[in-house]
Amino acid sequence: MLKELHDYVKKNYEQGNYKDAEAQYKNWDNRNYYDKKTQTQSKQSDYQKGYEQATQDFKNNRAFHRYPKEAVKIGNEITNNKLSEVSNFIAGYEKAKADLVNK
């Protein structure tokens, strides 16, 4: 059964029967990717995003993440602060975690 299905798909693929569907999917995927990216970009600071992520993790009874704060700190030193966004996110996350645990 699986071999027959494989052969059927292969035959149709080789004949180019999926080209329209492939083009439509790529167009749809690119459009959705950029729409989602635009929606998720906001004016929030990275610190605030980290703070809110920790708050959501807490509210949803998820374990807190352990981010590699020291590795990012070293990375910032090496790369002239090119990881500052990540560092700020982690700082916000850690602050929220401390606030929530110490309530």
pLDDT greater at residue 37 or residue 80: 80
* Tokens 């990881």 found at: 83
Digit-coded pLDDT (tens) for 28-60: 666 655 555 455 566 789 999 999 999 999 999
| Tokens linked to 100 | 């929530």
Question: For residue range 6-34, what is the model confidence (pLDDT) as tens digits?
Answer: 888 888 778 887 777 777 777 766 665 55
Question: Domain coordinates of the chain in residue numbers?
Answer: 2-40, 46-101
99 or 29, which is more confident: 99
pLDDT tens-digit series, residues 62-79: 999 999 999 999 999 999
Alpha carbon dihedral 63, 69, 75, 76, in 10-degree steps, equals 120
> What pLDDT score was predicted for residue 33?
55
Supply the pLDDT for residue 29. Answer: 62
